[in-house]
């Protein structure tokens, strides 16, 4: 049985015992966890990324450019707020990333123009929302107590706001960020139209960001910091897919 299937079953059992029956599950006799297979990340060449960007339009285009240009996870990209993007300093602050960690990542020069044009469109939507008293999601009660006007301020709005709104449990109409599937579908369609046969996903952009940085001579500790990895071993996997041949050696066939 696959490790992911086992983890799902164990999580369900733990929830049943601890949250429903209020009994400690303890150790499960006769259970041997499966080892998750080690797989190399899918890395796209710069020409392939360029071809994908040429075939993606709208907010998904900006999102794809940021994921590659800054090494963002798709969830980190879609939950960005206006205040966390700094075109002057050429950086993005990722808030509450994986492991509840904040970090700073570079903002590519080629992304600034498209991002500013996108934000002008988002700001127009925000102005209309203010008149209709539509507020953003994702601001917890403690933050709203600390900043009572945060929901009404431009800087707290999502960079990638959804087109639809919803009504929460308090009866307030709110606007969430763009759903992940919108970008994933646009990316998948662009990969197919570009004729790329690699099993590429949005996360492949993050893999490509790390690999291309290492290929250009960046220090692996710096890449670890930019990706937000706690363990250097997680970052080391990118050294196995560098553009220098398998394990960094040349094939003897090249000498023929």
The residue count of the chain comes to: 256
CB contact burial 46-55 (16+ within 10 A = b; e otherwise): eebbebbbeb
Catalytic residues: 73, 98, 203, 206, 229, 238
Structure tokens at 37: 């297979």
Beta-strand pair 173-177/161-167: antiparallel
Burial class (CB in 10 A: 0-12, 13-18, 19+), 104: middle
The count of other CB atoms within 10 Å of the CB of residue 178 is 20
């Amino acid at each position: 049985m696959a490790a992911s299937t086992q983890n799902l079953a164990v999580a369900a059992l733990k929830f049943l015992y601890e949250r429903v029956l209020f009994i400690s599950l303890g150790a499960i006799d006769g259970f041997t966890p499966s080892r998750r297979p080690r797989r190399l990340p899918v890395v796209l060449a710069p020409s392939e990324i360029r071809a994908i960007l040429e075939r993606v339009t709208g907010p998904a285009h900006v999102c794809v450019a940021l994921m590659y240009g800054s090494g963002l996870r798709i969830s980190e990209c879609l939950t960005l707020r206006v205040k966390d993007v700094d075109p002057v300093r050429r950086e993005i602050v990722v808030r509450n990333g994986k492991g509840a960690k904040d970090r700073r990542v570079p903002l590519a020069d080629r992304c600034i123009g498209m991002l500013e044009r996108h934000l002008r469109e988002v700001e127009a939507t925000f102005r209309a929302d203010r008149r209709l008293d539509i507020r953003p999601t994702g601001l917890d009660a403690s933050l709203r107590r600390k900043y009572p006007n945060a929901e009404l301020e431009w800087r707290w709005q999502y960079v990638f706001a959804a087109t639809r709104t919803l009504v929460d449990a308090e009866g307030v109409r709110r606007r969430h960020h763009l759903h992940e599937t919108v970008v994933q579908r646009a990316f998948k369609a662009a990969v197919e139209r570009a004729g790329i046969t690699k099993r590429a996903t949005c996360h492949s952009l993050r893999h490509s960001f790390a690999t291309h940085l290492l290929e250009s001579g960046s220090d692996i500790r710096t890449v670890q910091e930019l990706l937000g990895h706690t363990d250097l071993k997680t970052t080391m996997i990118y050294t196995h897919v560098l553009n220098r041949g398998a394990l960094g050696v040349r094939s003897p066939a090249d000498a023929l």
